[in-house]
């Protein structure tokens, strides 16, 4: 037990705070019996529950959608959307360089501040740092929060074009062509003096994905009387 009168520290209270989300959207739409349009722009910003400036999520989006009749039986339509997501993360989970393991194991009578002493990483397993190469065993949680880097930058575009044709009074044909492209640039960096990586390390990766799809659907409808109606749908889907 910690001796009576020994100063203790609220490690969880020091590391966590109240998070906030701000979500704003501006949209405008309109049209008439021949055409429609919809335009929107939005931003979502989240400042997470971990203290500091490295627990954030910022997403900006835009969208344009429109339709236009050509004659009385043919309608053209399109929809395009773009999102830009910029995120900063803090390592968590059961790892020596994560926030929670070192935080949970820090004794209540050890003060995690300052986590740097003359530029050297200080933790409860290495409270009096003498050099940069000795293993800290568990990272000081505030070293994890303030010195590690885990970022993601995602750009994603989604769009489609469609043709809707009433070929006959009982037959409708619809064709849709769509595309979805995303690029995710990720960086995970552990600076020198991190537990298990006295020289530091960095991982960098770019993940790209492109999906194209199109479908053609014909729908035939016939009403045979007040009590009977039939619908037949045929189509092809490809991605």
What average pLDDT does the segment 80-93 reach?
Answer: 93
Q: What is the pLDDT of residue 94?
A: 76
Query: pTM for this structure?
Result: 0.87
For residue 202, pLDDT beyond 90: yes
Instruction: Please state, for a pLDDT cut of 90, what percent of the chain lies above it.
Output: 92
Q: What is the pLDDT of residue 163?
A: 98
* Half-sphere exposure (Cβ direction) of 131: Cα atoms closer than 13 Å: 5
For residue 2, give every residue at least 6 positions away whose Cβ sits within 8 Å of its Cβ, in sequence order, or none: 8, 107, 108, 109
What average pLDDT does the segment 86-91 reach?
Answer: 95
DSSP letter string, the chain: -PPTT-----HHHHHB---EEEEEEEEEEEE-SSEEEEEEEEEEEEE-SBSSSSSEEEEEEEEEEEEEEETTTEEEEEEEEEEEEEEE----SSSTTSHHHHHHHS-TT-----SEETTEE-BTTBSS---SSS--SS--HHHHHHH-EEEEEEEEEEEEEEEEEEEETTEEEEEEEEEEEEEEEEEEEE-TTBTTBTT-EEEEEEEEEEEEEEEEEEEEEEE-SSS-EEEEEEEEEE-
For residue 206, give every residue at least 6 positions away whose Cβ sits within 8 Å of its Cβ, in sequence order, or none: 183, 184, 185, 186
Q: What is the pLDDT of residue 79?
A: 98
Per-residue model confidence as pLDDT tens digits over 38-61:
999 999 999 999 999 999 999 999
Residue 226's pLDDT band (cuts 50, 70, 90): confident
Q: What is the pLDDT of residue 225?
A: 87
Q: Which residue has the tokens 């820090």?
A: 106
For residue 7, pLDDT beyond 80: yes
For residue 237, pLDDT beyond 90: no
């Amino acid at each position: 037990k910690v001796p009576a009168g020994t100063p203790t520290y609220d490690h969880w209270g020091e590391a966590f705070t109240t998070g906030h989300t701000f979500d704003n959207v501006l949209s405008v739409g309109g049209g008439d019996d021949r055409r429609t349009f919809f335009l929107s722009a939005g931003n979502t910003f989240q400042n997470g529950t971990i203290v500091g400036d490295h627990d954030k999520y910022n997403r900006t989006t835009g969208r344009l959608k429109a339709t236009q009749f050509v004659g009385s039986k043919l309608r053209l339509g399109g929809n395009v959307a773009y999102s830009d997501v910029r995120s900063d993360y803090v390592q968590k989970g059961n790892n020596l360089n994560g926030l929670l393991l070192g935080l949970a194991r820090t004794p209540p009578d050890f003060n995690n501040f300052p986590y740097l002493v003359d530029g050297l990483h200080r933790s409860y397993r290495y409270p009096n740092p003498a050099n940069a190469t000795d293993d800290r065993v568990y990272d000081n949680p505030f070293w994890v929060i303030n010195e590690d880097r885990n970022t993601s930058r995602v750009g994603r575009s989604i769009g489609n074009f469609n043709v809707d044709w009433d070929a006959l009074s009982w037959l409708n044909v619809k064709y849709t062509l769509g595309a979805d492209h995303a690029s995710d640039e990720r960086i995970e960096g552990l600076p020198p003096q991190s537990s298990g990586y006295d020289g530091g390390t960095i991982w960098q990766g770019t993940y790209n994905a492109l999906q194209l799809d199109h479908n053609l659907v014909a729908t035939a409808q016939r009403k045979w009387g007040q009590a009977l109606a039939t619908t037949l749908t045929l189509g092809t889907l490809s991605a």
